[in-house]
Amino acid sequence: METLFMPTNPLYSFLSSSLVKEVAKWGGDVSAHVPDVVAARLTERYAR
């Protein structure tokens, strides 16, 4: 078995993806906590 370690950017390491999705779902601004492409995708997904 091989193991792959993928360290994250320390800016984003303390965030829970569930929390970010919940904030975006209720119309909150998550752009300060995720990369721009992720913020745009969440906005697009939950705007429906």
Give the Cα separation of 10 and 22 in Å (integer).
Answer: 21
Q: What is the mean pLDDT of the segment spanning 5-16?
A: 77
Q: What is the pLDDT of residue 36?
A: 94
Section 3-11 average pLDDT: 82
The pLDDT value recorded for residue 11 is 73
pLDDT tens figures, 14-47: 778 888 999 999 999 999 888 999 999 999 999 8
Burial 11-37 (b: 16+ CB within 10 A, else e): eeeeeeeeebeebbeeeeebeebbeee
Amino acid letter, 16: S
The predicted pLDDT at position 12 comes to 65
